[in-house]
């Protein structure tokens, strides 16, 4: 794709990123609501289609019920049904769309970033560092994935780019000891923010979970409220597995919010809705591409519209 062909504003990129999901949903809905008459069987098929897009059973049922009610009020075509889907999704997601505001009173405020390897933790930390640096905050980055030299190196690049203080140790060093040193450094510098990266080998490995627990314990020795935020980065292409990841990391590290990446790599982007519905955790950012500019704060309306390929219009639809 040439630069000229690259959609520029965020909503266009979001729509392009969610195209796999929205094309599949749009195709399915259009087929259902043009060929067949709108009876109970059509509604059942709609519900199946929504469940296949990983939206979750509860949300799929609510959408189907809303379509069932609306069909008595007016003739419904594919576009009308997509609008109802978007409206229900937006309603479900509105309560969980929240920016991440580290507490100003904490010196430093600590954000722990967790998630399995390759989910997009480094990109997320880069985005956070950039965002908070722009807001005038002083930042310390701790390279807590001490097992992977490449992860440490990548984070070092972000520290340099954003002018953050970088704390790292030799490969294989104890991650909790590193978190300790990073906290001391942040205190010494009176930094506003400490962002701690962590290792992400499989979430069912007891060792990793024990390591995370230890990091949390060490941080709490300094400040019982730390970490002030624990962000779980979820790769949307892992589908239903995302749900078990939330549970595992929730138990161990007390997840306070989510980042959902790689929505561009799946036709089942509805997983974000299922996760939000099930756990009620705030969604801070979503990612629809490889770069740091493809990761943006989460907006429920924008996401809902893009999920079914609707344009960003001034006014919400009525039915
Ligand atoms: N397509 C796509 N790729 C992404 C997205 N977010 C991250 N990536 C890519 O996924 C890969 C892993 O991202 P990182 O940010 O390095 O993830 P990580 O969790 O730190 O990974 P490790 O360092 O392997 O633990 C990189 O190649 C990123 O460019 C996204 O939203 N969409």
Q: Judge whether 231 and 131 are in contact, CB under 8 Å.
A: no
What is the residue with the minimal CA distance to atom 24 of ligand 1?
118
Q: How far is CA 230 from the centre of its chain?
A: 12
User: What tokens appear for 96 in the block?
Assistant: 């969980």
Q: Which residues are annotated as a binding site?
A: 115-122, 197-201, 261-264
Give the pLDDT score at 136: 93
131: nearest Cα among 193, 191, 188 = 193
C-alpha 295/C-alpha 6 separation (Å) is: 16
Ligand 1 atom closest to 294 (CA):
31
pLDDT in tens, 63-107: 999 999 988 777 788 888 999 999 999 999 999 999 998 888 899
Phi and psi at residue 142, to the nearest 5°:
-110, 125
- Residue 1 has what pLDDT? 43
Return binding residues for GTP: 115-122, 197-201, 261-264
Distance between CA atoms of 262 and 282, rounded to whole angstroms?
18
Which of 114, 122, 146 gets mutated to test ligand 1 (max ligand atoms within 8 A of its CB)?
A: 122
Rounded distance from Cα 6 to ligand 1 centre (Å) = 20
CA-closest residue to ligand 1 atom 8? 290
List, for the chain, all residue ranges whose pLDDT scores fall below the cut of 70: 1-7, 35-36, 202-205, 314-319
- Which of 123, 195, 258 for a ligand 1 pocket mutation test, highest count of atoms within 8 Å of Cβ? 123
Q: Which tens digit of pLDDT belongs to each residue from 38-70?
A: 788 899 999 999 999 999 999 999 999 999 998
Centre of ligand 1 to C-alpha 167, Å, is 21
pTM (2 d.p.):
0.91
């Amino acid at each position: 794709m040439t630069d000229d062909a690259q959609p520029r504003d965020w909503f266009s990129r979001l729509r392009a990123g969610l195209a796999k999901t929205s094309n599949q949903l749009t195709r399915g809905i259009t087929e259902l609501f043009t060929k067949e008459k709108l009876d109970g069987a059509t509604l059942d098929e709609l519900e199946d289609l929504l469940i296949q897009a990983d939206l979750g059973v509860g949300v799929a049922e609510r959408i189907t019920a809303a379509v069932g009610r609306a069909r008595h009020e007016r003739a419904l075509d594919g576009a009308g049904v997509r609008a109802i889907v978007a409206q229900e999704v937006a309603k479900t997601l509105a309560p969980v769309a929240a920016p991440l505001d580290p507490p100003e009173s904490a010196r430093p405020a600590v954000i722990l970033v967790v998630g399995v390897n390759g989910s997009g933790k480094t990109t997320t930390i880069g985005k956070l560092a950039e965002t908070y640096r722009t807001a005038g905050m002083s930042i310390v980055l701790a390279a807590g994935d001490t097992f992977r030299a490449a992860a440490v190196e990548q984070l070092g690049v972000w520290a340099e780019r954003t002018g953050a203080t970088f704390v790292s140790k030799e490969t294989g060093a104890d991650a909790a000891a590193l978190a300790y040193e990073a906290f001391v450094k942040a205190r010494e510098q009176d930094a506003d923010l400490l962002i701690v990266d962590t290792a992400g080998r499989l979430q069912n490995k007891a060792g990793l979970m024990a390591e995370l627990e230890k990091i949390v314990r060490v941080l709490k020795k300094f400040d019982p409220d730390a970490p002030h935020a624990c962000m779980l980065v979820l790769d949307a292409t892992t589908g239903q597995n995302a749900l078990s990841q939330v549970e595992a990391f929730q138990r161990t590290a007390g997840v306070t919010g989510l980042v959902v990446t790689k929505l561009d790599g799946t036709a089942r982007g509805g997983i974000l809705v299922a996760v939000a519905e099930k756990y009620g955790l705030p969604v801070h950012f979503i990612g629809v591409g490889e770069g740091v500019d493809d990761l943006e704060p989460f907006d429920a309306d924008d996401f809902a519209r893009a999920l079914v390929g609707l344009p960003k219009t001034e006014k919400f639809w009525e039915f």
